[in-house]
Chain A
Amino acid sequence: GAVVSQHPSRVICKSGTSVKIECRSLDFQATTMFWYRQFPKKSLMLMATSNEGSKATYEQGVEKDKFLINHASLTLSTLTVTSAHPEDSSFYICSAKSGQETQYFGPGTRLLVL
């Protein structure tokens, strides 16, 4: 199956700082990438959908100025959590797909804001 990587796998930061998470499709070109957030023992919550070269579409209730998404190429999308606060601590997972194919997920990034 297709491989999606995320970096870093885990990050700890101080409150007020910004954190960037990278999502890469390693063996295919991803026309669309998705960013999810997952709380402990809960399902995945879609945050935003991004298509290469265009602005991301954010789900209702997700602050686009806080969660900046860039999808600059067909293999890379980044999520930047700006001015992070402890309530932003979570497991962030990206996924990618090519055309109408199904989504393939990355391994996730665990963010802890102190």
Chain B
Amino acid sequence: QKEVEQDPGPLSVPEGAIVSLNCTYSNSAFQYFMWYRQYSRKGPELLMYTYSSGNKEDGRFTAQVDKSSKYISLFIRDSQPSDSATYLCAMKGAQKLVFGQGTRLTINP
């Protein structure tokens, strides 16, 4: 079993839709949870960084962590074509960052 599971997609939605991206994990030592956005042929860009269970909102993005279920989510409201990218969840405990496989998202105008 992989430490972090993420559906690779691809996921295609119309502009303006609410997007839900998810990851599950097996290592209960993970304490820090991140979402990165990666455009084609570019390095990952940090979107959200959370530590505790609950919700964290930043503009159109909301990150949700449920440590009891070992489940994290990223919601994108009012999605835009410019949101089209690959979204990677990442998490760490005391050691290295572990990435999900990434979900390729396309927002259709």
Contacts and interface: CB of A to CB of B under 8 A. Distances in A.
A43 B46 contact: no
Interface in B17-38: 32, 34, 36
Given A44-B88, A102-B49, A108 B97 contact: no
Interface residues of A, number: 21
Contacts of B99: 43-44
Interface in A96-114: 102-108, 110
Nearest 10 CB-CB pairings of A with B? A105-B43, A108-B43, A107-B43, A43-B99, A105-B44, A43-B101, A93-B43, A44-B99, A106-B43, A102-B49
Interface residues of B, number: 19
B42 interface: yes
Contacts of A91: 41
Interface in B41-57: 41-46, 49
Given A93-B43, A108-B43, A43 B36 contact: no
Contact of B44 (A1, A49, A93, A110): A93
Interface string A37-61: 0000111101001000000000000
Contacts of B41: 91, 108, 110
B46 A104 contact: yes
27 contacts: A4-B43, A34-B97, A41-B104, A42-B101, A42-B102, A43-B88, A43-B100, A43-B101, A43-B102, A44-B44, A44-B88, A46-B97, A93-B43, A93-B44, A95-B43, A102-B34, A102-B46, A102-B49, A103-B46, A103-B97, A104-B46, A105-B46, A106-B43, A107-B42, A107-B43, A108-B42, A110-B41
Contacts of A106: 43
B95 to A, nearest CB: 9
